[in-house]
Amino acid sequence: MPTTPTCILAYTAEDDRYHFLRLAAEDAARDANARLILYDIDAAQLLAAPTPTEWSGEGTAEAYPDLLDPPALEAAGRHAIAAQVSHARGEGIQAWGWLPSQKGAAGLAEYAGHHGVDLIMLPAAMADPGLMDRLRGATLEKAIEETHRPVAVVDEDGTVHYPWSGPSAS
């Protein structure tokens, strides 16, 4: 790892298809004593927000902050993500979940900036995205370009690569 992170943002999914990435992120967070935010890539839907919005009724949007603990994730109907956050917490990691309302690098960059994320961990499959992911900007190249933060790419076997370690890298 190029530097010791203090806050790691890592992809995860309801079906835990990125379990290899989640476990690598847990290891990195534990080793660095860093906060871990699990980014539920399945939360963002085309026509619906994953949590209440300002149009849902007075006070409902405030009930769901953008750092969610297991009870808040359960209340949002994200049991699998709540279980993943609970697992990380059981390993002694300060872990949270995030339910993004949009997919793509721009939303990822905005969230990372707002929460002081200094390492983003993504699946290697993002290096070879499908058409829909390219159209949404959900690619490794876009994530690196938009976030201006160190990015770690995790292979399915759990191997972690650091293709870009920040603005000072050459």
Write down the residue that tokens 């490794």 correspond to. 140
Q: Is residue 97 assigned to a domain?
A: yes
Distance between the two ends of the chain, CA-based, in angstroms? 16
Q: Is residue 169 assigned to a domain?
A: no
Structure confidence at residue 64 (pLDDT):
46
Q: Do 42 and 103 form a contact (C-beta atoms < 8 A)?
A: no
CA distance to 44, 59, 86, 163, per residue, from 71 (Å)? 20, 18, 10, 35
Counting every residue written for the chain, the total comes to 170
Q: Is residue 114 assigned to a domain?
A: yes
Q: Is residue 2 assigned to a domain?
A: no
- DSSP annotation of 99 reads -
Find the CATH number of the domain harbouring 14: 3.40.50.620
Q: Is residue 47 assigned to a domain?
A: yes
Q: Is residue 148 assigned to a domain?
A: yes
Q: Is residue 170 assigned to a domain?
A: no
CA 29 to chain centre: 13
CB burial readout 11-20, b (16+ within 10 A) else e:
bbbeeebbeb
Crossing angle, helix 105-114 and helix 140-147, to 10 degrees?
40
Q: Is residue 85 assigned to a domain?
A: yes
| Structural domains of the chain, count | 1
Which range of residues forms the domain containing residue 43?
7-164
Residues of the chain with confidence (pLDDT) below 70: 1-2, 45-65, 126-140, 142, 164-170
Q: List pLDDT tens digits, range 54-98.
A: 444 454 444 446 799 999 999 989 999 999 999 999 999 999 999
Pairing of strands 95-98, 119-123: unpaired
